[in-house]
Structure 1
Amino acid sequence: MDNLTIALDAMSGDFGPRVIVPAALQALDLHRNLHLILVGSSAEINIFLPNKHPRLTVIKSSSVIPNDMKPSLAIRRSQGSSMRMALELVNSKEAQACVSAGNTGALMGLSKLLLHSISGIKRPALVATLPTIKDGNTVILDLGANIESDSEMLVQFAIMGSILANTVLNIVNPRVALLNIGKEDIKGLERIRVAANKLKTNHYFNFVGYLEGDELLSGKTDVLVCDGFTGNVTLKTVEGLIKIFLSSNQLMTKNKSIFARLTRYWMQKKMMNYFGHLDPNHYNGACLLGLQSIVIKSHGAASQSSFLAAIEHAILAIENNLPERIASSLSSILPKSEKN
């Protein structure tokens, strides 16, 4: 297998090098063809890097984009930042993908500025593949790259999600649904209803209608489309509930009797058997889909195992030539007027 090179924004997220460096070393142990470039403060990175690694390079940056900085300001002040330098490595073809746990708006803006959108895509979307109760998977987008999305963008999200489901998950004729407040045709915002009509009349899609929030992990659809505000809130709500279910400390009262401890242990084991595959730590990492290159957004609060999952997502996207496949498929789906 060909060598892979991924640039990591080592200063990003809540924990920076403390989490990202150990995750990088773990990824290198798992993938012998992988080379990683850590971008950030070399002094801080070296604290967690006991020995030099032949497949790991450190590139020094001079600043970090704060999570609470407005994207427009962050972009103007991005020169020399770990995020921008990591993206520039992708732009110059020195890396095949970038992974960052930093400011989502800044990452979106800088990615569009430096790496550009695929022809025919109005705005990229954050997409993740979530496991379902039935041991299947659902591609969901947008998860926060675009707070508001018009009907045209929702249709483009559906196209990209369908291509991802088909090429990466090997789902033939993937089912597509729109997230809505009801299943009736009259329900929801006008842009959602307009998008639904467009999806119904396009023979490329296997459109199955609307899906409500309580069916997110039901496995009733292979691709679920929504705007970034709705998608981000929905995803984080589901992740929070799953974390509670998987936490033994939340399953029982503070009763410390032997019976309570045994019951808590039994319930924890049952919950892990039933919901363990839904653990957010296993699927952290959303791809900024619709760019000409690969950018993965990790949760800001990612643990070592979570950030490792984001690196794995980048590897999967590279191996599947995701941007090239989307661009190729779009040429046969979108009308010529929408490609310009």
Structure 2
Amino acid sequence: MPELKLAIDAMGGDNGPSVVIEALINSLKQDTTTQFVVVGDEAILSSLFSQFELSDHPQVTLVHAEQVVEMTDKPGATMRQKPQSSMRVALDMHAHGEVDGVVSGGNTGALMAQAYFILKPIPGVLRPALMAALPNMTGGRSYLLDLGANPSCDSETLFQFGVMGSVAARVLESDKNVSVALLNMGEEELKGNDEVRNAAQLLGQSEHVNYIGFIEGNHLFSGRADVIVCDGFVGNIALKSCEGLATLIIDELKASLTSHWLYSWFFKFLQKRTKKSWQRLKPDHYNGASLIGLRGVVVKSHGSANATAFESAISHAIKEASHRLPEKIQDRVESVLLEQH
């Protein structure tokens, strides 16, 4: 297999390039073959490269970009107003075949808009979707899409999300029997709006999807389905609600268990005994939403990600690129289109 090369937008995100560089250093300790192209302000990055002894590293290259897409920028305007942004330069490199994937923690709307117009959707794909992994009660992962790229979707689009998500989960989890469900307000066939019910019919009729029916929000983490499909409005609210609840529970536990020295000692003991479970549930390990349905690999990191979380996004992009995920999705979409005609 040819050597992989990944472009990293070092200027996106809330915490600055230092977090990206720290994540890169951690990735280099685990991966001795992937080439990394770090894109951003040369003056800032050169200083960090010198500080962390990356200037002469054989796996790392620095590419200058004189502009930065800010979190407050309007997504559509960034294409015209910031053609030399680190985000744009990284995506252009991917479009020209110079790299095999892109990771950015920058403005989500701008990344989606630019990736759509620069990389283009896979032929036959109606709309790309944002997909992320969730831990589940079986000890594995479930994949939720869409997470906000498409606030409203018709039944055909939801059906395609099921197809693409099924391929992605099969590739990322090495599982040939991926199950797909639609997120709905009930499990009964008559529940939900017309688009969801029509999507259920399309998924149920397809030979390319192992469709198991509707699931409700309280089963997102149950492991009942490997892929959970919904429109971007529902998915974004569901994911952020879960993140907010997780933060509340962790903060409340810490506050309660550290209020007295005896509780504090017990909390530290409990953490040691359940270290593996705590590590698996930490959001850092699931950072990185994939924009699937494009002719390329694009992974969006949380803007507020720390180095551990950004490293997770890098690892996710490497895995997708090494397994040639866009090509596999394209093959399946072509098969589905033939099936429908």
Same fold (TM over 0.5): yes
The 1:180–1:266 alpha-carbon spacing in structure 2 relative to 1, beyond 3 Å, is farther
**TM-score, normalization: structure 1?**
0.93
Q: Distance in 2 between matches of 1:5 and 1:204?
A: 31
Shift of 1:336: 7.1
Which has the higher mean CA deviation after the structures are superposed, 92-101 or 185-194? 185-194
Matched residue type, 2:315: E
Question: Corresponding residue for 2:285?
Answer: 282
How many residues were matched structurally?
A: 337
Shift of 1:263: 3.4
The alignment's C-alpha RMSD in Å is 2.0
Q: 1:105 aligns with which of 98, 109, 113?
A: 109
Contact kept? 1:251, 1:267, Cα under 8 Å: no
Alignment of 1:309-328 (within 5 A): 309-328=312-331
Contact kept? 1:177, 1:211, Cα under 8 Å: yes
The 1:274–1:21 alpha-carbon spacing in structure 2 relative to 1, beyond 3 Å, is closer
- Structure 2 SS opposite 1:99: strand
Matched residue type, 2:198: V
Shift of 1:106: 1.1
User: What per-residue deviation string (whole Å, max 9, x for no partner) do you get for residues 28-57 of structure 1?
Assistant: 222111111111111221232223122211
Question: Corresponding residue for 1:5?
Answer: 5
Q: Distance in 2 between matches of 1:215 and 1:251?
A: 28
Segments of structure 2 that go 5 or more residues without pairing to the other structure are: none
Shift of 1:259: 2.3
Q: Distance in 1 between matches of 2:302 and 2:127?
A: 21
Q: 1:158 aligns with which of 146, 162, 174?
A: 162
Alignment of 1:180-191 (within 5 A): 180-191=184-195
Q: 1:123 aligns with which of 124, 127, 145?
A: 127
Question: Corresponding residue for 1:296?
Answer: 299
Shift of 1:116: 0.7
Q: 1:68 aligns with which of 72, 85, 96?
A: 72
Is residue 157 of structure 2 the alignment partner of residue 167 of structure 1? no
Contact kept? 1:124, 1:288, Cα under 8 Å: yes
Question: Corresponding residue for 2:25?
Answer: 25
- Structure 1 SS opposite 2:177: coil
Question: Corresponding residue for 1:308?
Answer: 311
The 1:34–1:204 alpha-carbon spacing in structure 2 relative to 1, beyond 3 Å, is closer
Matched residue type, 2:241: T
- Structure 2 SS opposite 1:54: coil
Question: Corresponding residue for 2:46?
Answer: 46
Q: Distance in 2 between matches of 1:278 and 1:243?
A: 12
Segments of structure 1 that go 5 or more residues without pairing to the other structure are: none
Q: Distance in 1 between matches of 2:258 and 2:143?
A: 38
- Structure 2 SS opposite 1:7: strand
The 1:253–1:15 alpha-carbon spacing in structure 2 relative to 1, beyond 3 Å, is same
Question: Corresponding residue for 1:334?
Answer: 337
Q: Distance in 2 between matches of 1:121 and 1:252?
A: 49
Q: Distance in 2 between matches of 1:104 and 1:111?
A: 10
Q: Distance in 2 between matches of 1:315 and 1:198?
A: 32
Question: Corresponding residue for 1:207?
Answer: 211
**TM-score, normalization: structure 2?**
0.92
Shift of 1:301: 0.5
Q: Distance in 2 between matches of 1:172 and 1:292?
A: 23
Contact kept? 1:162, 1:174, Cα under 8 Å: yes
Matched residue type, 1:21: I
Is residue 240 of structure 2 the alignment partner of residue 236 of structure 1? yes
- Structure 1 SS opposite 2:71: coil
